[in-house]
Amino acid sequence: MRRFTVAARAARVPVLALALALALALASTALAAVESDKVVSTEWLAAHLDDPKVRVIEVSVVPGVYERGHIPGAVNFVWHTDLVETVVRDVVSPERFQELAQAAGIDNDTTVVLYGDNNNWFAAWGAWIFNLYGHEDVRILDGGRAKWEAEGRELSVRPPSYPRGNFEVKTINSHLRVRLADVLDVVTHNKDVAILDIRSPAEYEGRIFAPEGFQELAIRAGHIPGAVNVPWSQAVNPDGTFKSKEELRQLYASVGIDGSKPIIVYCRIGERSSHTWFVLSQILGYEVAQYDGSWTEWGNTVGVPIVNLAGTVWGAQ
């Protein structure tokens, strides 16, 4: 009996070693996708839900998804009313944003964690706005809402209430945003700035004007002259988590985007390019500005050049 016990223990040693190695490998794999202090895991967030210095914000694409269940304690920001000006096509004003942040209980030293549906499209837009208005600690939940739900984590239907925060817009980081005139200056004067179109190849080539079902359209199809194309979705894994830094570096370096010069990103209305802005600037540390006017502005503006590989003109072949 004793020999059996000793043998069993001896047999368990390599098994335990294998299990430990596997656990470390899995942990290493998990960390590979979160090699930035601007990205948090679902495990990290679950452990910090009661931290008064952490505020969770949901910014989702689909209306009503927050009300059907959200991460406990998360505040809902509605992207098309809270984070933009509804009459003038512009981002939310600094005054309105400061009021929004304070009402959410955000202080100047609060760690803000954003998440949303659709692989964090508009969570990234929210992160861009927070950075634009100078908040110092802004992070995104890796994998977003889908990963949190897939892991069976707790959801709440109760909207939270917090004491008013003291956040103030002290700085506007205007270098994070470019306008049509800035992009046109780069194009017409062949400046040493990379332009990255993150839409689908069909949009980039001009085969379609916008993804099916979207109302925001340009009268011309194609892309900004000199722009290269890496669809935003190539930056994430099947579960919506960000790819590793090395994978991301290789992905963008394949089209000449390596951080050696300033980068401008754009899409259709600025939502998808926010995701790429986050990847390039917050994970890879490149110098990146977003052209949020994007193709709906560029493609509709009189007198600006386009490249149309598909030959579509004025909505017809």
Catalytic residues: 267
| 194 closest CA partner among 245, 265, 248, 250 | 265
Quote the CA–CA distance of 251 and 268 in Å, as a whole number: 21
Instruction: Give the CA count within 13 Å in the CB-facing half-sphere of 184.
Output: 13
SS3 316: strand
| 130 closest CA partner among 159, 94, 103 | 94
Q: The tokens of 153 are what?
A: 């984590």
User: Can you say whether the dihedral through the CA atoms of 34, 149, 155, 126 is positive or negative?
Assistant: positive
Helices then strands, counting H and E runs in the chain, come out as 11, 11
The residues pairing with 290 across neighbouring beta strands, listed in sequence order, are 177, 265
Quote the CA–CA distance of 166 and 210 in Å, as a whole number: 41
